[in-house]
A = this chain, B = another copy of it.
Amino acid sequence: MNLKELATRLGLSPTTVSRALNGYPEVNEATRERVIAAARRHDYHPNTRAIRLATGRAMAVGHVIPIATRHEIVNPVFADFIAGAGEVYTRNGHDMLLSIVPDEDEEATYRALKSKGNVDGVIVHAPRLDDPRIPLLHQIGLPFVVHGRATGATQAYSWLDVNNRRAFQRATEFLLDLGHARIGLINGLEFMDFAIRRRTGYLDALAARGIAPDPALMSSGEMTEIAGFRAAQAMLALPRPPTALLCSSMLSGMGARRAVESAGLVMGRDVSIIIHDDDLSYLKNGEEVPIFTATRSSVREAGRLAAEMLLGLIARPGTGPQERLLEAELIIGQSTGPALLAQRRQSPYHQGAQTSGGPL
Chain A residues close to B by CB (< 8 Å): 1, 43, 45-50, 52-53, 58, 65, 67, 72, 74-76, 78-80, 82-83, 85-87, 89-90, 95-101, 111-112, 115-118, 222-226, 251, 254, 257-258, 261-262, 281-284, 286-287, 291
A116 and B48 within 8 A (CB): yes
Q: Are A75 and B65 in contact (CB under 8 A)?
A: no
A95-B83 contact given A53-B50, A283-B224, CB 8 Å threshold:
no
A89:B100 contact, CB within 8 angstroms: yes
CB-defined contacts of A115 to chain B, threshold 8 Å? 1, 43, 45
Q: Could you say how many copies of this chain the assembly holds?
A: 2
What B residues does A48 contact at CB under 8 A?
116-118
A58 to B287, CA, bound (A): 43
Tell me if A82 and B96 are in contact (CB < 8 A).
Answer: no
Cβ contact within 8 Å between A287 and B226: yes
Instruction: Report, nearest first, the 6 A-B pairs whose CB atoms are least far apart.
Output: A86-B100, A79-B79, A45-B115, A49-B52, A74-B83, A48-B116
Can you list 15 pairs linking A and B with CB atoms under 8 Å apart? A1-B115, A49-B49, A49-B58, A74-B281, A75-B281, A76-B79, A86-B99, A89-B100, A97-B98, A98-B98, A222-B282, A223-B282, A226-B287, A251-B283, A254-B254
Bound Cα distance A190, B131 (Å): 45
Q: Which residues of B contact A281 (CB under 8 A)?
A: 72, 74-75
A118 to chain B: which residues have CB within 8 Å?
Answer: 48, 95
Interchain nearest-CB distance for A107 vs B (Å) = 13
A295 to B295, CA, bound (A): 35
The smallest C-beta distance from A218 to any residue of chain B, in angstroms, reads 22
Give A135 Cβ to nearest chain B Cβ, in Å.
18
Q: Are A117 and B47 in contact (CB under 8 A)?
A: yes
Contact of A96 among B46, B47, B99 (CB under 8 A): B99
Which of A118, A223, A254 is packed against the most chain B CB atoms within 10 Å? A118
